[in-house]
Structure formats: structure tokens, C-alpha cells
């Protein structure tokens, strides 16, 4: 017989996590926006570069910063009043909005083919964002970029004028740059474009008081872009990383449950402490629920029990779940995290409806295959060549000798297939060196898609392995995703 209270909590998990924010497909909203302490610097107007892997929140924060209401929430949450005094213009993103100040992907590809100077390109984007009349009057991007190259003094004068006017209004103007992996399919050209953007952004930071660029970029792209311009070392000093600790992940989960609109969300808040109302249906959890491991484990045990089986030999649920969702660099995508717990609740309702807790440990274990499919889809969208490289190892067993990995790729024409893949304009950039299996392997290790054991054997984290027919002796069994 089903316990109505247990079923209600299970329903809360399903309903709240099904509607959890996903910046790729929806706009962040006031009620569910979570502000982990580790992301504070990412919103600071003076921080130029925000590095983050796919799913860590780059696009989420980029979109949130464009919304005045959400900026006010972040300003209060992070005790950063300056956020309430910024103006935001999108300098590059997919889609571009109704009146983009930057060239579209096809126009950009044509400009690159013409050998456009990357620094002049981004300088022209800055002038378009500032609505400089001389540049607005020009009809093509080629003309605008040429104007910048020929009018260095006028460019600097335009920046000084905009800086003065912005200061007089008591504002800071922030130009946002996101989804930069879609600038160009060729990695060399992408690196060159990013290098120009970094140089222009740093100049804004060093020469003006109120004009700022904020660049959301993957860590590997940041590292590979050349930084041979003046004061390049200062760029790293104005950078931060979007990371998610275990406490952040559980804080996100509990925030979503406590901020759902159902009666069960009210019951969850009452059961977990004194939540602070902030108006319009938004509640803030007690500090220990967001940040204290011991308290978080106590709350999670009420949902999933203490162990991944009948006793501790199978592992503790609180640590087991994030440990099996992390990549080779120890990172867990919050999107994948919420998806795994959502699927766990669904599977519990379908197969273990009479269980004494909202989540059954076997359902949690089975959810990993679904979470892996979700994560590989993200990898395919962002770094399609990496997903292809793993796919060509299907039928094998890890750990594998590096020579066996390289042989599998050479036998399956990986380099040629990467070239074919990148002919699709929807794909992101390619690897640093598509012709070298050794270089591809090293890049996959750098990305956390693969790991290297102490004996140099190559392994795959479960979050990628389970989506493919790749076995590991003693590892979590692969389940078909329904």
C-alpha cells in the first residue's frame, strides 16, 4: 500500500525537477533562480572572463544578467549593489535577438574567409553596441571593420565619450559574450577570433572606468586561444570559474523543491527549517540546508535512505550519487544532476511504488544510464568530435592501453570522420589537432571525457561510458534507456 505522504514527496521531486530551469531552452525565472556562493564573482562586472564547461551555468547567468528583475535578485543575494546599476548589451550569443550588434554566423564565416582582423571585428561590435553614429551608418560589417582599422583615434574618442556618459548616469555598461564555441568550426580560426575578443575586452577593462566585457567561455577554449597581446597576464587576474561543489548541487536540489508551487513544497519547507520568504513565491532555504554537508545528508536521507542497498557496503547515497555523475575532472553538471534525480523518482514510481521512501536505491542506480544519455547529448551538441571519438570505442572494455585506443581510432578513420562532421555548420569547433590520435587523446583527457590511471591505462567516467556499449569490470551496469 502506498503511503500518501511518500507519494506526495515523490510527486514533488518529479514536478519540481521537470520544470527546473534550463537556460538553453527557457529563460531563468525569479522563483527558481539559485545563487550558489561560488558563482558570485561570475556576476561581478569587473570580472572579464567566466570559464565553465557545458551545463555549469554560463548561458544561465548570461541570460539572467540581461533581466533587470533577476539582476536585482542576484544583487541582493550576493550583497553586490553594483549589479543594480548596470546596463547590459549582448555582444555575441546564438540567436542574437531582435537587433543584434554583431554579425551572424554565416556573415562571420564570410568575414573570416576574407581574412578579417579579429581585433578590428570585435572593436566594431563594441562601437555598434555603443551606437556610434559613424559606424551605425555603414551598411555592411566589412565597412564597419574597415572603418575601425582606419580610424584608431576616433575609436578611442568614442570609448572615452561613452565612458563619460555612462559614468554621468551612474551606470556600468556590460557587453556579454556567450556560446563562443559556435563562432567558427575551424579550431584555428576560433582561437584567433577569441584572441581578438580577449584583447579588446582587456583594453576596455584597463582604459575605461564604466565599460566592461563579460565573456562566458569553455575552459579549454580559453586556454588554447593565443594571448600574445600586451598585458595578457592581467586577463587571467580578471577571470573566474563556474564550479559546483557537492554542497552547491544539493543546495540547488533543495532550492527547486522548496520553491515549487505545490502544497507539498510548503510541507518540504516546514520539514527542513525556517525558509525566508522573499516575495512573489520565492523562498530562501536555511543556511545549513544550502551549505552544511551534515545537514544536507540528513535531508537527503529522508528522500533516498542512507545506503545504496540494504547496508553501507553498497555506499552512502549522499556521496554515491554525485560521485557517479562526475566527469574525469571531478565536475558534475547541475543539469545532469537534476535529470538523474528526476529519473530516479520516475523509476521509483514505475517499479517500486510501494517503497518506504520517495527514491529507491536501485532506481537511483538505473537512472545513471539516462543521465549518461543526457550528458552525452550535451557533449554532442558542444563538442561533437569528442562524442564521435568515444563512440568509435564501442564494444571494448576499459581500462584500455593508450595504443589500443589509438588503434581503434585509426582503424575507424577518426580524423576523416571528424572532418566530415565539421562540415555541418551546426557543429561547434574541432579538436586542436584532428590529424593526431595522440593529440586527440590528450585533449579528451584535458576535457575530462577520459581519465588516465596511474599505470597510464585509459578509462572513461560512468557519466560518458554508460551511454555507449563500453564495459568496465565491476563497474555500474549499462541499462537500456527507455
Distance CA 439, CA 451 (A): 14
Say what percent of the chain tops pLDDT 70.
95
Q: What mean pLDDT do residues 35-62 have? A: 93
* pLDDT tens by residue, 331-348: 999 989 999 999 999 999
What is each CA distance from 285 to 213, 254, 272, 289, 465, in whole angstroms? 33, 8, 8, 6, 35
Distance CA 190, CA 174 (A): 23
Worst-scoring range by mean pLDDT, 95-99, 269-273, 281-285, 441-445?
Answer: 95-99
- DSSP, collapsed to helix, strand or coil, labels residue 92 as strand
| Res 381 pLDDT > 90 | no
* pLDDT tens by residue, 448-461: 999 999 999 999 99
- At 95 the pLDDT is 65
Average pLDDT, the chain: 92
| Res 307 pLDDT > 90 | yes
CB count in 10 Å sphere of residue 248: 20
Q: What mean pLDDT do residues 171-193 have? A: 93
Higher confidence at residue 186 or residue 482?
A: 186
- At 1 the pLDDT is 45
* pLDDT tens by residue, 152-181: 999 999 999 999 999 999 999 999 999 998
Q: Are 5 and 260 in contact (CB under 8 A)?
A: no
Q: What mean pLDDT do residues 375-383 have? A: 88
* pLDDT tens by residue, 310-321: 888 889 999 999
| Res 19 pLDDT > 50 | yes
| Res 187 pLDDT > 60 | yes
Q: DSSP for 291-315?
A: H-HHHHHHHHHHHH-SBSSSSGGG-
- At 98 the pLDDT is 55
- At 475 the pLDDT is 67
| Res 476 pLDDT > 80 | no
Worst-scoring range by mean pLDDT, 98-112, 195-209, 269-283?
Answer: 98-112
Distance CA 300, CA 306 (A): 8
Amino acid at each position: 500500500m502506498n503511503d500518501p505522504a511518500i507519494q506526495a514527496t515523490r510527486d514533488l521531486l518529479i514536478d519540481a525537477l521537470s520544470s527546473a530551469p534550463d537556460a538553453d531552452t527557457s529563460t531563468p525565472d525569479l522563483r527558481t533562480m539559485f545563487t550558489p556562493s561560488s558563482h558570485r564573482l561570475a556576476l561581478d562586472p569587473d570580472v572579464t572572463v567566466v570559464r565553465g564547461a557545458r551545463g555549469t551555468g554560463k548561458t544561465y547567468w548570461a541570460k539572467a544578467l540581461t533581466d533587470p528583475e533577476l539582476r536585482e535578485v542576484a544583487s541582493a543575494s550576493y550583497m553586490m549593489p553594483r549589479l543594480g546599476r548596470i546596463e547590459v548589451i549582448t555582444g555575441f550569443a546564438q540567436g542574437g535577438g531582435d537587433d543584434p550588434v554583431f554579425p551572424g554566423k554565416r556573415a562571420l564565416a564570410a568575414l573570416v574567409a576574407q581574412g578579417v582582423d579579429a581585433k578590428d571585428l570585435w572593436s566594431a561590435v563594441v562601437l555598434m553596441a555603443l551606437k556610434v553614429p559613424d559606424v551605425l551608418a555603414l551598411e555592411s560589417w566589412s565597412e564597419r571593420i574597415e572603418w575601425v582599422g582606419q580610424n584608431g583615434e576616433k575609436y578611442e574618442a568614442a570609448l572615452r565619450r561613452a565612458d563619460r556618459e555612462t559614468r554621468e548616469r551612474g551606470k556600468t555598461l556590460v557587453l556579454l559574450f556567450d556560446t563562443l564555441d559556435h563562432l567558427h568550426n575551424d579550431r584555428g580560426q576560433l582561437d584567433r577570433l577569441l584572441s581578438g575578443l580577449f584583447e579588446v575586452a582587456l583594453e576596455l577593462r584597463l582604459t575605461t572606468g564604466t565599460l566592461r566585457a563579460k565573456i562566458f567561455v569553455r575552459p579549454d577554449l580559453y586556454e588554447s586561444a593565443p594571448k600574445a597581446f600586451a598585458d595578457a597576464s592581467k586577463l587571467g587576474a580578471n577571470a573566474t570559474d563556474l564550479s559546483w561543489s557537492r554542497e552547491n548541487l544539493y543546495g540547488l536540489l533543495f532550492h527547486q523543491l522548496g520553491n515549487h508551487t505545490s502544497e507539498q513544497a510548503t510541507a518540504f519547507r516546514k520539514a527542513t527549517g525556517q525558509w525566508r520568504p522573499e516575495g512573489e513565491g520565492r523562498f530562501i532555504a536555511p543556511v545549513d540546508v544550502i551549505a552544511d554537508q551534515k545537514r544536507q545528508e540528513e535531508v537527503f536521507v529522508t528522500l533516498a535512505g542512507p545506503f545504496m542497498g540494504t547496508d553501507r557496503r553498497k555506499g552512502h547515497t549522499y556521496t554515491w550519487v554525485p560521485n557517479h555523475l562526475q566527469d574525469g575532472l571531478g565536475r558534475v553538471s547541475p543539469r545532469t544532476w537534476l535529470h538523474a534525480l528526476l529519473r530516479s523518482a520516475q523509476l521509483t514510481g514505475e517499479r517500486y511504488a510501494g517503497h518506504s521512501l520517495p527514491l529507491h536505491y536501485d532506481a537511483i542506480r538505473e537512472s545513471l544510464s539516462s543521465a549518461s544519455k543526457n550528458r552525452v547529448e550535451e557533449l554532442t551538441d558542444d563538442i561533437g568530435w569528442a562524442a564521435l571519438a568515444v563512440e568509435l570505442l564501442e564494444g571494448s572494455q576499459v581500462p584500455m592501453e593508450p595504443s589500443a585506443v589509438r588503434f581503434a581510432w585509426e582503424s575507424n578513420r577518426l580524423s576523416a570522420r571528424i572532418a566530415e562532421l565539421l562540415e555541418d555548420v551546426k557543429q561547434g569547433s574541432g579538436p586542436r589537432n584532428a590529424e593526431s590520435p595522440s593529440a586527440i587523446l590528450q585533449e579528451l583527457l584535458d576535457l575530462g571525457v577520459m581519465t588516465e590511471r596511474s599505470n597510464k591505462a585509459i578509462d572513461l567516467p560512468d557519466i560518458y561510458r554508460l551511454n555507449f556499449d563500453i564495459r568496465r569490470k565491476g563497474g555500474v551496469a549499462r541499462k537500456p534507456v527507455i
